[in-house]
């Protein structure tokens, strides 16, 4: 964390945003002197884009392997090897690792800068958004690393080796931070709206409040097995008293900054996983759905399957996660690639619609499945069946599936919620949630698996042992080098050993 001061300077440089095209530019020199004081409307978009990019690219990519969605083709056997082998040391490396820790604290500093300026300028809408998003990031840090610095993490000069706090405490403080953010947004005067600077909700108070409540509900659901019932009850009461509710039909949190058809300025999910400039293929060449995922969709006669993947001779064929053998049957030309407009007569489909599609942070269907589980547990009012069916319908809509196919799909005994005993409903809710979150919000699917143990995704064939599963990430080398004493107090952080506090 000694790097915090350097990161702060770097963050300030990234906030030099004067237009959508400018803040999509990833090629600016971060060492070039920049304007020291920027208006809040120039800072907020960059912070939000930083959050969404990390969530949908870096974090989603890792979790898509560990949640049972992705594998690789025969030709790509040596790619994503750290992910397939649960190589925590490699993942945490400074040179070739996955810098989730560094990127998250960097972004947290962005929001801290916004909070400090907003408080000076009496701009509660901005500081409210910043607090909500800081809560979002701290919750993610716990979900991925467990114990992390919180109170001392963002004081850039006083604490060079910030103390760690236990994951449970950080969770509770993060939820409180989000509550404070809600209150600040609701207190903002109409002329204090960030409007277009808010690239997610366009300055809509109600949607920000619903989003914040949904993030809190997600945090409460996450600890459903952890025995923290008093805290859950108290926080549910706060949400009920606040009264705005959660994200519902057609209410996804998604970034809409104005992507353009230029390298580094397209929707990064599209550019990373489907097509680059001049329609050049990217990860679509190497990535494939797992056979388990294909079999699950096919077994349910799920119409999302042909919207997501390209068929091979009339059938859909996946791969085995971590297959150590270069089997010909798993060659690129013999397995189902992601389907997009190029493979669908120019029409939007599945995950890939256009280079400028909104980038999803938290989808309406995830919110509805969270509400379905909460209703089933008796935490909130409403019907678990209604929320469940709405979640499926919203997933169909997002994945470009004809709405008219929903009734026949839902009426199947293998899908309909009322066809299973009461004590099996959550398992069915989670299965449909897993199918809906496929390659979109994979951290949530991986977290559900760690929390509940289903669906029964196969282990990597390259796992260090048949029973070893990825439970967390190790603290990165950068942290071990600069805050070794504190990091060393946290115990065994091996990927397959150290559990997150809520993972009982």
List pLDDT tens digits, range 145-194: 999 999 999 987 789 899 999 999 999 999 999 999 999 999 999 999 99
Encode 118-167 in three state secondary structure.
Answer: HHHHCCHHHHHHHHHHHHHHHHHHHHHHCCEECCCCCCCCCCCCCCEECH
Span 18-34, mean pLDDT? Answer: 42
- pLDDT for 274-332, tens place per residue? 999 887 778 899 999 999 999 999 999 999 999 999 999 999 999 999 999 889 999 99
| Residue from 39, 43, 41 nearest 12 by CA | 43
Instruction: Give the phi and the psi of residue 289 in degrees, each rounded to 5.
Output: -70, 150
- pLDDT for 205-244, tens place per residue? 999 999 999 999 999 999 999 999 999 999 999 999 999 9
Per-residue confidence (pLDDT) for residue 282, from 0 to 100: 82
- pLDDT for 173-184, tens place per residue? 999 999 999 999
Per-residue confidence (pLDDT) for residue 280, from 0 to 100: 75
- Distance CA(111)–CA(194), nearest Å, equals 15
Which carries the bigger pLDDT value, residue 15 or residue 264?
A: 264
Whether residue 321 contacts residue 458, with contact meaning beta carbons closer than 8 Å, is answered with yes
Residue 12 has pLDDT above 80, yes or no: no
For the chain, the structural domain boundaries read: 4-71+88-254+474-488
Per-residue confidence (pLDDT) for residue 69, from 0 to 100: 98
Among the CATH numbers 3.30.70.1520, 1.10.20.10, 1.25.40.390, 3.30.60.50, which is that of 4-71+88-254+474-488? 1.25.40.390
Per-residue confidence (pLDDT) for residue 37, from 0 to 100: 66
DSSP of 266-291, one letter per residue? S-HHHHHHTB-GGG-B-GGGTEEEBH
CB atoms within 10 A of CB 16: 17
User: Where residue 436 falls among pLDDT bands split at 50, 70, 90?
Assistant: very high
Phi-psi bin for 312: left (phi > 0), alpha (psi -120 to 50), beta?
beta
Q: In a 10 Å sphere around its CB, with 0-12 CB exposed, 13-18 middle and 19+ buried, how is residue 411 labelled? A: exposed
Tokens of residue 272, six digits: 């990373």
- Distance CA(201)–CA(198), nearest Å, equals 6
Per-residue confidence (pLDDT) for residue 30, from 0 to 100: 35
pTM, rounded to two decimals: 0.94
Angle at 69 between CA 108 and CA 431, to 5 degrees: 95
Widest distance between CA atoms in the chain: 64
List, in order, residues 6 or more apart from 282 with CB less than 8 Å away.
271, 272, 273, 274, 275, 276
Per-residue confidence (pLDDT) for residue 359, from 0 to 100: 97
């Amino acid at each position: 964390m000694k790097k915090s001061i350097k990161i702060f300077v770097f963050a300030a440089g990234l906030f030099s945003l004067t237009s959508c095209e400018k803040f999509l530019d990833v090629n600016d020199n971060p060492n070039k002197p920049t304007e020291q004081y920027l208006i809040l409307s120039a800072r907020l978009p960059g912070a939000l884009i930083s959050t969404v990019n990390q969530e949908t690219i870096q974090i989603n990519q890792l979790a898509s392997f560990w949640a049972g969605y992705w594998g690789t083709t025969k030709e790509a056997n040596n790619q994503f090897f750290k992910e397939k082998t649960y190589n925590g040391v490699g993942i945490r490396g400074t040179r070739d690792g996955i810098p989730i820790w560094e990127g998250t604290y960097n972004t947290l500093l962005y929001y801290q800068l916004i909070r400090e300026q907003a408080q000076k300028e009496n701009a509660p809408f901005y500081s409210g958004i910043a607090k909500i998003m800081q809560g979002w990031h701290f919750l993610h840090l716990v979900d991925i690393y467990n114990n992390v610095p919180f109170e001392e993490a963002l004081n850039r000069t006083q604490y060079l080796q910030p103390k760690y706090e236990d994951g449970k405490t950080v969770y509770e403080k993060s939820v409180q931070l989000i509550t404070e953010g809600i209150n600040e947004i609701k207190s903002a005067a109409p002329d204090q709206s960030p409007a277009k600077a808010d690239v997610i909700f366009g300055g809509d108070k109600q949607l920000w409040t619903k989003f914040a409540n949904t993030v809190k509900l997600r945090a409460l659901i996450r600890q459903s097995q952890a025995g923290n019932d008093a805290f859950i009850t108290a926080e549910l009461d706060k949400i009920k008293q606040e009264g705005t509710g959660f994200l519902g039909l057609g209410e996804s949190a998604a970034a809409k900054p104005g992507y353009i058809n230029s390298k580094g300025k397209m929707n990064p999910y599209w550019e990373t996983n489907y097509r680059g400039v001049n329609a050049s293929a990217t990860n679509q060449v190497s990535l494939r759905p797992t056979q388990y995922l294909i079999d699950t969709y096919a077994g349910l006669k799920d119409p999302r399957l042909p919207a997501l993947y390209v068929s091979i001779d009339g059938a859909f064929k996946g791969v085995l996660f971590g297959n150590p053998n270069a089997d010909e049957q798993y060659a690129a030309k013999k397995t189902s690639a992601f389907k997009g407009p190029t493979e669908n007569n120019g029409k939007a489909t599945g995950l890939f619609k256009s280079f400028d599609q909104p980038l999803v942070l938290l989808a309406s269907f995830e919110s509805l499945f969270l509400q379905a589980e909460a209703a089933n547990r008796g935490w909130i009012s409403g019907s678990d069946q209604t929320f469940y069916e709405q979640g499926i319908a919203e997933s169909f809509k997002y994945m470009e599936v004809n709405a008219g196919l929903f009734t026949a799909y839902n009426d199947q005994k293998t899908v309909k919620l009322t066809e299973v005993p009461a004590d099996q409903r959550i398992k069915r809710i989670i299965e449909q949630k897993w199918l809906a979150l496929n390659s979109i919000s994979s951290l949530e699917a991986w977290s559900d698996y760690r929390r509940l143990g289903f669906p029964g995704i196969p282990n990597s064939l390259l796992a260090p042992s048949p029973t070893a599963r990825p439970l967390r990430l190790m603290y990165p080398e950068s942290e071990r080098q600069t805050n070794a004493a504190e990091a060393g107090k946290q115990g065994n952080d091996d990927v397959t050993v150290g559990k997150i506090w809520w993972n009982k």
